[in-house]
Protein backbone atom coordinates (compact mmCIF):
# COMPACT_ATOMS: atom_id res chain seq x y z
CA UNK A 1 0.00 0.00 0.00
CA UNK A 2 1.35 3.43 -0.96
CA UNK A 3 0.88 6.79 0.79
CA UNK A 4 -1.98 7.81 -1.47
CA UNK A 5 -4.01 4.71 -0.63
CA UNK A 6 -3.17 4.90 3.08
CA UNK A 7 -4.27 8.51 3.40
CA UNK A 8 -7.41 7.84 1.40
CA UNK A 9 -8.41 5.23 4.01
CA UNK A 10 -6.95 7.03 7.02
CA UNK A 11 -10.14 8.63 8.29
CA UNK A 12 -12.20 5.50 7.77
CA UNK A 13 -9.66 3.73 9.98
CA UNK A 14 -9.82 6.46 12.63
CA UNK A 15 -13.62 6.43 12.58
CA UNK A 16 -13.61 2.62 12.67
CA UNK A 17 -15.55 2.47 9.43
CA UNK A 18 -12.92 0.67 7.33
CA UNK A 19 -12.88 -3.03 6.51
CA UNK A 20 -10.61 -5.08 8.73
CA UNK A 21 -8.35 -5.94 5.80
CA UNK A 22 -7.92 -2.24 5.03
CA UNK A 23 -7.19 -1.54 8.69
CA UNK A 24 -4.40 -4.12 8.69
CA UNK A 25 -2.88 -2.72 5.50
CA UNK A 26 -3.05 0.89 6.72
CA UNK A 27 -1.45 -0.04 10.04
CA UNK A 28 1.36 -1.79 8.22
CA UNK A 29 1.92 1.29 6.10
CA UNK A 30 1.88 3.64 9.09
CA UNK A 31 4.57 1.59 10.82
CA UNK A 32 6.85 2.08 7.83
CA UNK A 33 5.98 5.66 6.78
CA UNK A 34 6.75 8.46 9.21
CA UNK A 35 4.99 11.03 7.00
CA UNK A 36 1.62 9.27 7.04
CA UNK A 37 2.09 8.42 10.71
CA UNK A 38 2.57 12.13 11.45
CA UNK A 39 -0.72 12.95 9.75
CA UNK A 40 -2.47 10.08 11.52
CA UNK A 41 -1.21 11.17 14.96
CA UNK A 42 -2.11 14.78 14.26
CA UNK A 43 -5.71 13.93 13.37
CA UNK A 44 -6.06 11.67 16.40
CA UNK A 45 -4.60 14.34 18.67
CA UNK A 46 -7.08 16.99 17.61
CA UNK A 47 -10.04 14.69 17.93
CA UNK A 48 -8.94 13.85 21.46
CA UNK A 49 -8.46 17.50 22.34
CA UNK A 50 -11.82 18.55 20.98
CA UNK A 51 -13.73 15.83 22.81
CA UNK A 52 -11.83 15.77 26.10
CA UNK A 53 -9.34 18.53 26.76
CA UNK A 54 -11.87 21.33 26.69
CA UNK A 55 -13.37 19.93 29.90
CA UNK A 56 -10.24 18.77 31.70
CA UNK A 57 -7.18 20.60 33.01
CA UNK A 58 -4.09 20.12 30.89
CA UNK A 59 -0.67 21.63 30.30
CA UNK A 60 -1.27 24.18 27.55
CA UNK A 61 2.44 24.58 26.88
CA UNK A 62 2.70 20.87 26.12
CA UNK A 63 -0.37 21.02 23.88
CA UNK A 64 1.14 23.91 21.96
CA UNK A 65 4.45 22.09 21.54
CA UNK A 66 2.68 18.97 20.29
CA UNK A 67 0.66 21.00 17.79
CA UNK A 68 3.70 22.82 16.43
CA UNK A 69 5.69 19.60 16.24
CA UNK A 70 2.96 17.88 14.26
CA UNK A 71 2.60 20.83 11.90
CA UNK A 72 6.35 20.80 11.27
CA UNK A 73 6.26 17.09 10.51
CA UNK A 74 3.36 17.53 8.11
CA UNK A 75 5.09 20.42 6.36
CA UNK A 76 8.19 18.27 6.00
CA UNK A 77 6.05 15.63 4.31
CA UNK A 78 4.56 18.11 1.88
CA UNK A 79 5.66 16.13 -1.15
CA UNK A 80 3.06 13.46 -0.43
CA UNK A 81 -0.08 13.99 -2.52
CA UNK A 82 -3.53 12.46 -2.23
CA UNK A 83 -5.65 12.33 -5.34
CA UNK A 84 -8.75 10.34 -4.41
CA UNK A 85 -9.36 11.77 -0.94
CA UNK A 86 -7.35 14.75 0.24
CA UNK A 87 -6.46 15.25 3.87
CA UNK A 88 -9.74 16.03 5.59
CA UNK A 89 -8.87 19.57 6.68
CA UNK A 90 -6.30 21.95 5.23
CA UNK A 91 -3.49 22.99 7.53
CA UNK A 92 -4.89 26.46 8.14
CA UNK A 93 -7.96 24.84 9.66
CA UNK A 94 -5.76 22.80 11.96
CA UNK A 95 -3.93 25.96 12.98
CA UNK A 96 -7.27 27.65 13.67
CA UNK A 97 -8.39 24.60 15.62
CA UNK A 98 -5.21 24.85 17.68
CA UNK A 99 -6.09 28.42 18.63
CA UNK A 100 -9.64 27.39 19.55
CA UNK A 101 -8.46 24.47 21.67
CA UNK A 102 -5.90 26.57 23.50
CA UNK A 103 -8.60 29.18 24.08
CA UNK A 104 -10.93 26.56 25.55
CA UNK A 105 -8.21 25.30 27.86
CA UNK A 106 -7.29 28.87 28.80
CA UNK A 107 -10.92 29.61 29.63
CA UNK A 108 -11.06 26.47 31.75
CA UNK A 109 -8.00 27.59 33.71
CA UNK A 110 -9.45 31.10 34.04
CA UNK A 111 -12.62 29.55 35.40
CA UNK A 112 -10.55 27.55 37.87
CA UNK A 113 -8.79 30.71 38.97
CA UNK A 114 -12.12 32.52 39.32
CA UNK A 115 -13.39 29.75 41.56
CA UNK A 116 -10.61 30.83 43.92
CA UNK A 117 -12.20 34.29 44.07
CA UNK A 118 -14.32 34.97 47.17
CA UNK A 119 -17.24 37.40 47.49
CA UNK A 120 -15.41 39.10 50.36
CA UNK A 121 -12.91 40.58 47.92
CA UNK A 122 -15.79 42.33 46.15
CA UNK A 123 -17.00 43.91 49.39
CA UNK A 124 -13.50 45.12 50.23
CA UNK A 125 -13.19 46.67 46.79
CA UNK A 126 -16.61 48.32 47.09
CA UNK A 127 -15.74 49.68 50.54
CA UNK A 128 -12.49 51.31 49.48
CA UNK A 129 -14.02 52.65 46.28
CA UNK A 130 -16.26 54.89 48.42
CA UNK A 131 -14.31 55.01 51.67
CA UNK A 132 -14.73 58.77 51.92
CA UNK A 133 -18.45 58.25 52.52
CA UNK A 134 -19.50 60.36 49.56
CA UNK A 135 -22.25 62.92 49.73
CA UNK A 136 -25.34 62.31 51.81
CA UNK A 137 -28.17 61.20 49.54
CA UNK A 138 -31.03 61.59 51.99
CA UNK A 139 -32.78 64.51 53.58
CA UNK A 140 -32.95 64.64 57.31
CA UNK A 141 -36.67 65.07 56.93
CA UNK A 142 -36.94 61.47 55.77
CA UNK A 143 -33.91 60.05 57.55
CA UNK A 144 -31.18 57.70 56.31
CA UNK A 145 -32.99 54.49 57.21
CA UNK A 146 -36.16 55.65 55.47
CA UNK A 147 -34.08 56.21 52.35
CA UNK A 148 -32.73 52.65 52.55
CA UNK A 149 -36.26 51.33 52.92
CA UNK A 150 -37.34 53.20 49.81
CA UNK A 151 -34.39 51.86 47.83
CA UNK A 152 -34.11 48.27 49.09
CA UNK A 153 -37.37 47.46 50.87
CA UNK A 154 -35.42 46.71 54.07
CA UNK A 155 -37.07 48.08 57.17
CA UNK A 156 -34.22 48.45 59.67
CA UNK A 157 -35.22 49.05 63.26
CA UNK A 158 -32.43 50.96 65.02
CA UNK A 159 -31.75 50.20 68.66
CA UNK A 160 -30.87 52.83 71.20
CA UNK A 161 -27.23 52.01 70.44
CA UNK A 162 -27.53 52.84 66.75
CA UNK A 163 -24.70 55.27 65.87
CA UNK A 164 -26.94 57.66 63.92
CA UNK A 165 -24.57 60.53 64.62
CA UNK A 166 -21.76 58.58 62.89
CA UNK A 167 -23.71 57.99 59.66
CA UNK A 168 -22.05 60.08 57.01
CA UNK A 169 -24.23 58.96 54.13
CA UNK A 170 -26.34 56.11 52.87
CA UNK A 171 -26.56 54.79 49.34
CA UNK A 172 -27.08 51.63 47.34
CA UNK A 173 -24.37 49.54 45.73
CA UNK A 174 -24.38 46.37 43.63
CA UNK A 175 -21.94 43.77 44.95
CA UNK A 176 -21.70 40.20 43.64
CA UNK A 177 -24.79 40.87 41.54
CA UNK A 178 -26.92 41.83 44.56
CA UNK A 179 -28.21 45.31 45.40
CA UNK A 180 -27.04 46.25 48.89
CA UNK A 181 -27.92 49.22 50.99
CA UNK A 182 -24.72 50.69 52.33
CA UNK A 183 -24.45 52.76 55.47
CA UNK A 184 -21.24 54.77 55.39
CA UNK A 185 -20.05 55.62 58.88
CA UNK A 186 -17.24 57.84 60.07
CA UNK A 187 -15.66 56.82 63.35
CA UNK A 188 -14.31 59.23 65.96
CA UNK A 189 -10.75 58.42 64.86
CA UNK A 190 -11.56 59.37 61.26
CA UNK A 191 -11.75 55.82 59.92
CA UNK A 192 -14.40 55.07 57.32
CA UNK A 193 -16.54 52.01 57.98
CA UNK A 194 -19.12 50.54 55.61
CA UNK A 195 -22.10 48.48 56.71
CA UNK A 196 -23.65 46.55 53.81
CA UNK A 197 -27.23 45.30 54.23
CA UNK A 198 -29.41 43.14 51.99
CA UNK A 199 -32.26 40.69 52.21
CA UNK A 200 -31.19 37.16 53.12
CA UNK A 201 -33.40 36.01 50.24
CA UNK A 202 -31.10 37.79 47.81
CA UNK A 203 -27.68 37.00 49.24
CA UNK A 204 -26.14 34.27 51.37
CA UNK A 205 -23.02 34.96 53.40
CA UNK A 206 -20.07 32.63 52.74
CA UNK A 207 -19.83 29.82 55.28
CA UNK A 208 -16.14 30.43 55.90
CA UNK A 209 -14.20 31.86 57.63
CA UNK A 210 -16.48 31.60 60.65
CA UNK A 211 -16.07 32.57 64.27
CA UNK A 212 -18.33 32.40 67.31
CA UNK A 213 -18.90 35.78 68.95
CA UNK A 214 -21.13 36.09 72.02
CA UNK A 215 -22.48 32.63 71.32
CA UNK A 216 -23.49 33.43 67.72
CA UNK A 217 -21.80 32.34 64.47
CA UNK A 218 -20.28 35.23 62.55
CA UNK A 219 -18.46 35.51 59.28
CA UNK A 220 -15.12 36.92 60.41
CA UNK A 221 -11.96 37.75 58.51
CA UNK A 222 -9.09 40.05 59.36
CA UNK A 223 -5.82 40.71 57.57
CA UNK A 224 -3.17 43.40 57.89
CA UNK A 225 -5.37 45.98 56.17
CA UNK A 226 -9.05 45.14 56.54
CA UNK A 227 -11.50 43.58 58.98
CA UNK A 228 -14.79 42.02 57.89
CA UNK A 229 -17.60 40.85 60.12
CA UNK A 230 -20.96 39.59 58.99
CA UNK A 231 -24.05 37.79 60.18
CA UNK A 232 -27.63 37.12 59.16
CA UNK A 233 -30.48 37.95 61.53
CA UNK A 234 -34.19 38.50 61.11
CA UNK A 235 -33.94 37.86 57.37
CA UNK A 236 -31.31 40.55 56.80
CA UNK A 237 -27.64 40.10 55.89
CA UNK A 238 -25.28 42.52 57.64
CA UNK A 239 -21.65 42.80 56.61
CA UNK A 240 -19.32 45.46 57.96
CA UNK A 241 -15.97 46.35 56.37
CA UNK A 242 -13.45 48.48 58.24
CA UNK A 243 -9.74 49.16 58.59
CA UNK A 244 -7.95 46.42 60.51
CA UNK A 245 -7.21 48.67 63.49
CA UNK A 246 -10.90 49.17 64.33
CA UNK A 247 -11.83 47.32 67.56
CA UNK A 248 -13.82 44.14 67.03
CA UNK A 249 -16.30 45.27 69.68
CA UNK A 250 -17.12 48.42 67.71
CA UNK A 251 -17.84 46.45 64.53
CA UNK A 252 -20.12 43.96 66.24
CA UNK A 253 -21.94 46.85 67.91
CA UNK A 254 -22.56 48.45 64.52
CA UNK A 255 -24.18 45.27 63.25
CA UNK A 256 -26.16 44.69 66.43
CA UNK A 257 -27.42 48.28 66.37
CA UNK A 258 -30.23 47.18 64.03
**Cα–Cα dist 182/138, whole Å:** 13
Predicted confidence band of residue 153 (pLDDT cuts 50, 70, 90): confident
Print the domain residue range for 185. 119-256
Q: Is the pLDDT of residue 196 over 90?
A: yes
Predicted confidence band of residue 155 (pLDDT cuts 50, 70, 90): confident
pLDDT tens by residue, 128-138: 887 654 444 44
Q: Do 246 and 229 form a contact (C-beta atoms < 8 A)? A: no
> Are 90 and 160 part of one and the same domain?
no
Q: How many structural domains are present in the chain? A: 2
Does this model's pTM top 0.75? My answer is no
Diameter over CA atoms, the chain: 94
Predicted confidence band of residue 119 (pLDDT cuts 50, 70, 90): confident
> Are 109 and 123 part of one and the same domain?
no
Predicted confidence band of residue 143 (pLDDT cuts 50, 70, 90): low
Where among 90, 115, 140 does a domain terminate?
115
The mean pLDDT of 208-236, rounded to a whole number, is: 86
**Averaged confidence pLDDT in the chain:** 72
> Are 24 and 125 part of one and the same domain?
no
Q: Is the pLDDT of residue 218 over 70?
A: yes
> Are 248 and 129 part of one and the same domain?
yes
Continuous segment of H or E residues that includes residue 114: helix 91-115
Q: Do 223 and 243 form a contact (C-beta atoms < 8 A)? A: no
- According to DSSP H, which parts of 116-191 are helical? 119-129, 144-152
The mean pLDDT of 210-237, rounded to a whole number, is: 87
**Cα–Cα dist 190/27, whole Å:** 79
The helix/strand/coil state of 154 is: coil
**Cα–Cα dist 97/91, whole Å:** 10
Amino acid sequence: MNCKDALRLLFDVIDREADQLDVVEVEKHLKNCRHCMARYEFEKMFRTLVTEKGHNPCDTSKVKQDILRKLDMIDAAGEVGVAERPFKYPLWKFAAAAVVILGIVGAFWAGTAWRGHTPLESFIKAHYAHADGGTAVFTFGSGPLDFLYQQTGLHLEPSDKCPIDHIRSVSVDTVEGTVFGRINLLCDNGNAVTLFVASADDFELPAEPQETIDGCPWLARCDSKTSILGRTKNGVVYLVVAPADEPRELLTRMVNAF
